[in-house]
Chain A
Amino acid sequence: MGSEPIERRVSYIGDRLKGSRCPFCGKEYFRMRKYCGNCGRKSLGKMEDIDYFYEKGVLENCTIVREPTNRFTRLGSYIYGIISFHNGKVRIPGRLTDMILRNDESINLEDLEGREVVPRFRRRYSVEKNDIIPTTSLAFTFADEYYPYQEYKISELGKEYDAPGIVGYGVYVSRFRIKEGGMERSVPFIDEDAITAAVEAGKLALIHSGVDHKLVDKIYVGSESNPYADNPIASKVAQVLKLGEEERAEGVQGVDAVDTEFACKAATSMFKDAMALVCYPKNPMRFVMVIGADNAQAAPRGEPGGELDFFVGFGGAAFIFGKEDVIAEIEGWYSCTSDTPDFWRRDLEPYPQHGGRFTGEPAYFKHIIKAGRKLMERMNLKPSDIDYFTCHQPNPAFPARAAATLGFKPEQYMPGLYVSKFGNTYSGSSPIGLAAILDQAEPHKRIMIVSYGSGAGSDAYLFITTSQIKDKRSRQKFTVRYQAENKFLQYVDYATYRKFKEGL
């Protein structure tokens, strides 16, 4: 593959599992069709676009692949089979992902067949380092395991708020963990990366918000681990999630998509931009999505930068901002920046370097405390006026100390502290903290989030939850706590963790 036009066409169909349905007889096709074989010419031009991206299928028949073709060898053994959708109206081939099969392990295929599966957006197979990264949704996991099936139900928009805010959100953390010391860290499966995490988080945010994907006018993706040096993650997210109005003939989405970069604050920095755009005086945007997703890389232990290898995690969070059906209104913000190079990665280098002890006081603490204090001062608030606090979480000690320094008590910051469950998810770190708070906050509660990005800067925001926060809660089963304390988590050893992070 590697040839862009072929890759474009295969991804266009396969990433979203696009098909067609005959409006007369209901016959369905995987891959788009202009014509129904049953109904003939009267169906010409009348076929309906469908896709199976938010559907659940059934694994009808499967076998185990022990000796994959060359591009799949890094996956090791896996289950491959036939997945049917809509009671057998369409059948497609698929691979089960998020499963580690040992080579000496026998599998009873009958235990797997007949079970419901959900499509997952993943890397398709291995390619050369300089090739386009192929993706697919012909990868599936069981609906009754870690990643549940959830319906994407577009809801009628109701109330318009005076202030913009968060309309919905989603958090995606992988099923795999490494446990070392007192800390668990999320590990991507071998076919995951920052791109797939961004798509998953965005998909979950759409499900939670109930916002029509067509009404999202802009998407920002903040990441420091885009597997491409040049080529946005945001364009992939926009196409897979069909953000903005699709111009079918040209195959383009009517949406503005852009990646942002500023270490771990690449996403939070754009919150205010997103909210400004929905308040733009002329032609305001309807909804804007901001995603922070990272497959945080670290050099092997013992090498320069290897100290990060004890803390890096994998995951992402997506927020949809707008003025309608808001669950948390914006109250205020403050950002600060200084030229403090405490963490950096030079072009063409695979792993970042780290300023060691100087990443604490003069970098992390200085900016977070400044931003937090300044925002409270501006808003004339004391820590006791704020119900919840979360900030960037590079390790378990720093955020607790920063919170205490700002005057917050454990009951205010513990609900959003997940670093010891997921590790440092970089751009996703403080956003996941915010999401964890939103998962449990009652209406009319005040939340402060302060991000930190090396290089360096902090963004502080104050949100106040609305009554709608409770209404939307039932739409999201895949909460932060659910992902942190799940009986289907799988723990891997250090070698597997390094291999999985490296990817296909």
Chain B
Amino acid sequence: MKGKTAIIGIGRTRFGEHYELDPEDLIDEAGLMALDSAGIERKDLDACYISDYLLQVTNKIGLEEGFISQLLERNIPIERMRSFSSALLNACNAIESGKYDVVLVGGMEKMTDRWSKIRDNLMLLEDHWAYYAGGTPETSHELLLREYMKSYGIRGENQEKLMMTLAQISVKNHRNAVKNEYAHFQREIDVKRVLAARTEEKRILGLYDFAPISDGATALILASSKKADEYTDSPVYVLATALATDYISYPSRSYRAGFIASRISMEKALKSAGITLDDIKILEVYDQSTVLEMTSLEDLGFVERGKAWIELYKNFEDFKGFYRLGSREVYVNTDGGLKADGNPLGATGGAQIFEVVKQLKGEAGQRQIKPDGDLLFGCVQEIEGFGTKVYVHILGREKSGK
């Protein structure tokens, strides 16, 4: 088989509000950290793939390639994508085709610069017709939740249990973030607070059900597996990167209680990596809302459709740090997820990869997981739009599955 791409360096900034920093400063910090952890110099890079959703809108920056070139003082090929996963996928394709050997993948976002206007921009990007009809970024998640409850007949007491489960997801992610020095919110919250926010706002979901908007940057150094051996003894391999798309208009999709694109993407990724769900011990899901952490577990196949709410409810009765779903035990969003680690769109996928790499290498410090058996494989799900593009990456300490 063709050589897999290896991750030989990782870097990130803290996520949050970086009032004093430009996007250039953020990507510089993350990039230097990644180069340093790989033990290479900028001159060793063959190419760069970078990502940001909204810099043109938030910071009036076009041609990001230019300022990256200037930062690196290099004239190498640089391409700009929208999401970190997109940059990663394209970088892996290039490396696996033999075109490049060492590539920097970087993501950055500076959302708080446009605090008062960002929701309009995000909603227009998500689905402009929904925006024209009065939709907000939050309404999509609420409609999906109601669709879920209706599809699976979740009413009355069960509905209360579901809403409690969603609150617990938020609490769990905040608790995880306390041990993450890069997280946007390094503080615990309790269930009461999550529920109170919903009540006060008189909405289905409240402040603590949604990921924040953040500033930040992340970076990876990728290398061909041949080249990786020159730099490190313990690379983490990108065993699969898969992508599936769906209609931009959420109402016109046939399945609306989750994302079909997640399912398709996961199936492709598992096949390509040659592993099964049972092999995945650590999972980073794209929890823009607590609802998406729940439905993603179904979409990705860890739990039967319509059952995640009750399975998670049982898990939270005596939570041990991981979800027990059937015979599987899987750690989800150990860095705090988008909810607490933060969500600087173009950089977010990089933080998810960062976490899985750290865990697989046993370098996650206080939040290091110790599952039964070997910790060999991890999985990352990143979403663009509202289920419009779903990427699934499978990372492993070994070059392929058993």
B residues near A139, Cβ cutoff 8 Å: 133
Residues 16 to 35 of chain A near chain B (Cβ within 8 Å): 30
Check B142–A63 contact: CB distance below 8 A.
yes
A127 on the B face (CB < 8 A): no
- Chain B, residue nearest A13 (CB): B129
Contact A92 B133 (CB under 8 A): yes
B327: CB under 8 A from chain A?
no
Q: Contact: B134 with A78, CB < 8 Å?
A: yes
Cβ–Cβ contact B251 & A82, under 8 A: yes
Q: Are A61 and B143 in contact (CB under 8 A)?
A: yes
- Which B residues between 187 and 213 are near A, CB-CB below 8 angstroms? 201-204
| Shortest Cβ distance from residue A29 to the other chain B in the assembled complex, whole angstroms | 8
- Taken together as a complex, chains A and B put the C-alpha atoms of A66 and B197 apart, in Å, by 13
**Does B268 sit within 8 A of A, measured CB to CB?**
no
A94 surroundings in chain B (CB, below 8 A): 133
Of residues 50 to 78 in A, which have CB atoms within 8 Å of B's CB atoms? 61-72, 75, 78
| B366: Cβ under 8 A from any A Cβ | no
CB of B135 within 8 Å of the partner chain: yes
When distances are taken between beta carbons in the complex, the residues of chain B under 8 Å from A124 are 132
| Chain A residue nearest to B202 in the complex (CB) | A106
Q: From DSSP, what is the main secondary structure of chain B's interface residues?
A: helix
Q: A68 vs B135: C-alpha distance in the bound complex, in angstroms?
A: 8
A64 contacts B202, C-beta separation under 8 Å: yes
Q: Within 8 Å of chain B (Cβ to Cβ): is A4?
A: no
Q: Is B131 an interface residue (CB 8 A)?
A: yes
The one of B119, B202, B204, B249 in contact with A69, judged by C-beta atoms closer than 8 angstroms, is B119
Roughly how many angstroms separate A63 CA and B205 CA in the complex, as a whole number? 10
Cβ of A39 within 8 Å of any chain B Cβ, yes or no, is no
Chain A residues whose CB sits within 8 angstroms of the CB of B134 once the complex forms? 65, 68, 72, 75, 78, 80, 93, 95, 125, 138
A148: chain B residues at CB < 8 Å are: none
Whether A61 pairs with B147 at a CB distance below 8 angstroms is yes
**Cα distance A103–B116 when bound, in Å?**
21
Interface string of A107-145 (1 = CB under 8 A from B): 001000000000000001100000000101011000000
A81 interface hit (Cβ, 8 Å): yes
Which B-chain residue is minimally distant from A70 (CB atoms)? B120
Q: Smallest distance from the beta carbon of B308 to chain A beta carbons, Å?
A: 19
Q: How far is the CA of A138 from the CA of B203 in the complex (A)?
A: 22
Complex interface: chain B residues within 8 A of A61 (CB): 143, 146-147, 150, 256
A67 to B139, CA, bound (A): 10
The verdict on A90 contacting B202 (CB below 8 Å), with A95-B134, A136-B133 known, is no
Residues of B within 8 A of A103 (CB): 202
Contacts of A30 in B (CB 8 A): 129, 249, 252
Contact of A14 (CB < 8 Å), options: B119, B132, B135, B203: B132
Q: Which B residues touch A105, using CB under 8 A? A: 202
Q: Mark B131-161, 1 if CB is under 8 A from A, else 0.
A: 1111110110011001100100000000000
Residues in A with CB closer than 8 Å to B132 are 10, 14, 124-125, 134, 136, 138
B136/A69 in contact, CB under 8 A: yes
Hey, which chain B residues are within 8 Å of A81, CB to CB? 143
Q: Is B277 an interface residue (CB 8 A)?
A: no
Determine the chain B residues whose CB is within 8 A of the CB of A69 once the complex forms.
119-120, 123, 131, 136
Cα separation A64 to B142 with both chains bound (whole Å): 9
Hey, which chain B residues are within 8 Å of A104, CB to CB?
202
A91 within 8 A of B: yes
Q: How far is the CA of A109 from the CA of B145 in the complex (A)?
A: 13
Q: How far is the CB of B119 from chain A (nearest CB, A)?
A: 5
**Docked complex Cα distance between A125 and B129 (Å):** 13
B-side interface size class: 20 to 34
The interface residues of chain A lying within 8 Å CB-to-CB of B256 are: 61, 82
By a CB distance below 8 angstroms, the chain A residues around B376 are none
Chain A residues whose CB sits within 8 angstroms of the CB of B119 once the complex forms: 69-70
Q: Is the CB of B116 within 8 A of A80?
A: no
- Residue among A64, A69, A136 with the most chain B CB within 10 A? A69
A92 and B129 contacting across the interface, CB-CB below 8 Å = yes
CA distance A103 to B203 in the complex (A): 11
In the bound complex, CA of A68 to CA of B116 (Å) = 12
Flag if A65 contacts B117 (CB, 8 Å): no
Is B72 an interface residue, CB under 8 A from the partner? no
Contact assessment for A95 and B133 in the assembled complex, using a CB-CB cutoff below 8 Å: yes
Q: Which residue of the partner chain A has the closest CB to B141?
A: A63
A384 to B131, CA, bound (A): 59
Q: What chain B residues lie within 8 Å of A92 (beta carbons)?
A: 129, 133, 249, 251-252
Residues of A within 8 A of B135 (CB): 65, 80, 93
A66 x B201 contact (CB < 8 A): yes
Q: Given the interface contacts A80-B134, A92-B251, does A70 sit within 8 Å of B116 by beta carbon? A: yes
What sequence of 0s and 1s flags, for each residue 82-94 of chain A, a beta carbon within 8 Å of any chain B beta carbon? 1100000011111
The answer, yes or no, to whether B244 is at the interface (CB within 8 Å) is no
Q: Which residue of A lies closest to B205 (CB)?
A: A63
Interface pair B252/A90, CB less than 8 Å apart: yes
CB distance from B259 to the nearest CB of A (A): 16
A81 to chain B, nearest CB (A): 7
* Shortest beta-carbon distance from B205 to chain A in Å: 9
Residue in B129, B201, B203 whose Cβ sees the most chain A Cβ within 10 Å = B129
Which A residues touch B252, using CB under 8 A? 30, 90-92
Contacts of A67 in B (CB 8 A): 136, 138, 201
Neighbouring A residues of B133 by C-beta, 8 Å: 80, 92-95, 136, 138-139
Closest to A77 in B: B202
Interface status of B40 (Cβ within 8 A of chain A): no
* Also in contact, A91 and B251, with CB within 8 A (given A69-B131, A70-B117, A81-B143): yes
Which residue of the partner chain, among B136, B146, B249, contacts A65 with CB atoms under 8 Å? Answer: B136
| Interchain CA distance A30-B250 in the complex, whole Å | 13
Q: Given contacts A61-B150, A64-B203, A93-B129, list 6 more A-B pairs with CB under 8 A.
A: A14-B132, A63-B142, A65-B135, A69-B120, A69-B131, A80-B133
Cross-chain pairs A/B with CB under 8 angstroms, 19 sampled:
A10-B132, A30-B249, A61-B143, A62-B146, A63-B142, A63-B146, A64-B204, A67-B201, A69-B120, A69-B136, A71-B120, A92-B133, A93-B129, A93-B250, A105-B202, A106-B202, A125-B134, A138-B129, A138-B133
Q: Which residues of A contact B (CB under 8 A)?
A: 10, 14, 30, 61-72, 75, 78, 80-83, 90-95, 103-106, 109, 124-125, 134, 136, 138-139
**Shortest Cβ-Cβ A-B pairs, 10 listed:** A95-B134, A63-B142, A138-B133, A91-B251, A93-B133, A93-B130, A82-B251, A69-B120, A80-B134, A69-B119
